[in-house]
Amino acid sequence: MKIVSRIKLPIETEMELFEKKFSASMSSKVSLLNRITHYVVNRKGKQMRPMFVFLIAKMTGNGEVNERTYRGASVIELIHTATLVHDDVVDDSNRRRGFFSINALWKNKIAVLVGDYLLSKGLLLSIDNDDFDLLKIISVAVREMSEGELLQIEKARRLDITEEIYFEIIRQKTATLIAACCAMGARSVMAPDSEVEKMRKFGELIGIAFQIKDDLFDYGNERIGKPTGIDIKEQKMTLPLIYALNNSSSEEKKWLINSVKNHNKDKQRVKEVITFVKNNGGLDYAVTTMKEYQQQALQLLETYPASPYKESLELMVNYVIDRKK
């Protein structure tokens, strides 16, 4: 059985019902919108985010979920989908999960409006049901994600990212949404504040490990086999590169920054940068750091009794580290 199917096993029934509720939460009187949202629903990814919501809810709620849990998962997925639609416009990207993106099929104007529509649907789903505690969790996440994106853009221009700023960017950009999923799961079953915070922290730690793993893919992996160097071409500062920069001579530093800034389209130069980062311990450092976050996340689960939900969450933490793409 595939790892994702094993993770999903204890929440299979909930996930099936969730898909129906999620589709219903997108419906509109405008047929164009319905065509587009139908396209979105049928091209879903692994659905890791709602899985986090349901697994955490069941682990902290004695194996039970309720309507709030379904609404919480739907809000997360609506907002997440809205951010992806807007991201594709911002990045001028024509593909998403192997399919054409909305902006490629229906142009930017419609894509922006669809993103706004999904965002408002998410907010109203919470407001209409007086889920203000759930709304607060997702609203904070959206604010942080926007700040993280803008902080990255600001820093990328000057390439002066320290490790501290790097972690702040990925915490906001990537980890915040996974943290919100975990907090949402616990809050939906009325877990106490201390437990909601503990689960939020759990999600944040996984989110950071997830992003470091993504950084490592730029330097090659088992499935792709060869380094991609895409992050270098886009002038994105990844943890292996930051480590290599901070642990090189001033001459090497100049060469590295010049390479990333002015020669990022030169394939040979990008290859040289990748080799330099590898030889200067950048990858080893990133792997060690990623595993530290993984262990911290697993430690937060130790206080819970054995259950299929806890087991799936442990599998999920390890999957984040071991995935091949």
- CB atoms < 10 A from the CB of 112, how many? 16
Nearest alpha-carbon partner for 59 in 299, 305, 302 = 305
194 sits in which H/E element: helix 193-217
CB 203 within 8 A of CB 175: yes
Tens digits of per-residue pLDDT, 145-193? 999 988 888 887 777 788 999 999 999 998 999 999 999 999 999 999 9
**Is a pLDDT exceeding 60 seen at residue 20?**
yes
**Is a pLDDT exceeding 60 seen at residue 301?**
yes
CB 171 within 8 A of CB 211: no
Which of 3-7, 72-76, 202-206 has maximum average pLDDT? Answer: 202-206
Whole-number Å distance between alpha carbons of 293 and 114: 36
The mean per-residue pLDDT over the stretch 73-96 comes to: 79
The mean per-residue pLDDT over the stretch 246-255 comes to: 90
Cα distances from 13 to residues 8, 70, 183, 211, in angstroms, run 9, 12, 21, 30
Whole-number Å distance between alpha carbons of 11 and 305: 18
**Is a pLDDT exceeding 50 seen at residue 66?**
yes
Which region among 65-69, 176-180, 257-261, 317-321 has the lowest average model confidence (pLDDT)?
A: 257-261
The reported pLDDT for the residue numbered 225 is: 42
Whole-number Å distance between alpha carbons of 108 and 104: 8
Which region among 58-72, 219-233, 292-306 has the lowest average model confidence (pLDDT)?
A: 219-233
Cα distances from 40 to residues 18, 47, 54, in angstroms, run 15, 13, 22
Tens digits of per-residue pLDDT, 100-158? 777 777 777 888 888 888 899 999 999 999 999 999 999 999 999 999 988 888 887 77
Whole-number Å distance between alpha carbons of 185 and 70: 9
Which region among 69-78, 210-219, 221-230, 270-279 has the lowest average model confidence (pLDDT)?
A: 221-230
Q: Compute the mean pLDDT over every residue in the chain, rounded to the nearest whole number.
A: 87
**DSSP label at residue 222:** T
**Is a pLDDT exceeding 90 seen at residue 22?**
no
Model pTM greater than 0.85?
A: yes
Q: Which long-range contacts (CB under 8 A, 24 or more apart) does 298-304 make?
A: 300/198, 300/199, 300/201, 300/202, 300/205, 301/202, 304/59
* 3-308 fold: Farnesyl Diphosphate Synthase (1.10.600)
The reported pLDDT for the residue numbered 236 is: 78
For the chain, the distance separating the N- and C-terminal CA atoms, rounded to the nearest angstrom, is 18
In which band, very low, low, confident or very high, does the pLDDT at 39 lie, cut at 50, 70 and 90? confident
Residue ranges of domains in the chain = 3-308
